[in-house]
Amino acid sequence: MAAAWRLNKGRLVWTNGEQAVSVGLSPERIRELNAKLMAEITEKERVLQYRQTRIDQLTDEFSVIKQQFGIAVSNLTRSN
């Protein structure tokens, strides 16, 4: 089972489902952790947006190529 953490009344609590460890955090440290997590989320959102844009581009290119060569989708995706 994966370990999990949560913030509870200014204390960071780690648990693996069987036992928990609690560590007190100052308001300043909580703000630092929050800023770090927000930066990570922003970066992951940026990466996901880039990947989705690239997927969309490749899908469009594939569609154009199929039209140019008159290839049916079933001919390309059919397994032997």
Look up residue 64 and give its amino acid.
Answer: V
46 has a pLDDT exceeding 80: yes
Mean pLDDT of 14-35: 78
- Which one-letter amino acid corresponds to residue 35? A
φ, ψ at 33 (rounded to 5°): -65, -40
Comparing CA positions, the residue from 17, 19, 39, 35 lying closest to residue 27 is 35
Mean pLDDT estimate for the chain: 79
Q: Hunting for tokens 């995706």 — which residue is that?
A: 77
In this predicted model, what pLDDT tens digit does every residue of 32-41 receive, in sequence order? Answer: 888 998 999 9
- Look at the pTM and tell me if it is higher than 0.95: no
